[in-house]
Amino acid sequence: MARGGRRPGAGRKAVLSGMDKIAVGGQCERLWGEAARDNARDSAGLVELQKSWKRAQDVPVHERTRIGKLWHEEQSDDVEGTLAEHGRERLVTVPVKRPKGLRQNIKERVAAEETSRRGITITPRMVDECWKEFRALQKRLDNDDV
């Protein structure tokens, strides 16, 4: 893409290559997705449920069968109790809401990380452009319009 001037190679050179832009945008999208998942887990009370399942999974399989039905019922009751506390069934569908107010923080965080990693100044505005390009590419790939 030309960056000014009439002759070939004139104008300001790009700071990031196309792949670098996609990498920066992907990092933003990853952080944004993690925030959305964390919000969904917190709002659905899944943290306690995960702890209950973790306790059940910590017992080795050969000990589970030795302990038998009593152990299984105890662990199942623990999980069922956690589910009941939050008014949930075994199958949990959690609506994932868009995390609000985090875009600027994510852009600043990624800009600081990329600036220190690459040794060149990456501004939050540049990160925003990379994020937009990443999302546009992702949309094109999802629609199979490559």
The mean pLDDT value for 101-124 works out to: 92
Considering only CA atoms, give the Rg of the chain.
24
Q: What is the pTM of this model?
A: 0.59
Confidence of residue 137 (pLDDT cuts 50, 70, 90): very high
Q: Which residue is it, tokens 């199958």?
A: 91
For residue range 44-75, what is the model confidence (pLDDT) as tens digits?
566 666 777 777 777 777 766 655 555 556 66
**Helix, strand, coil content of the chain in percent (nearest 5):** 70, 0, 30
Dihedral angle computed from the Cα positions of residues 15, 20, 25 and 26, in that order, rounded to the nearest 10 degrees: -170
Does 91 score more than 60 pLDDT? no
Does 95 score more than 80 pLDDT? no
Q: Which residue is it, tokens 């990092």?
A: 27
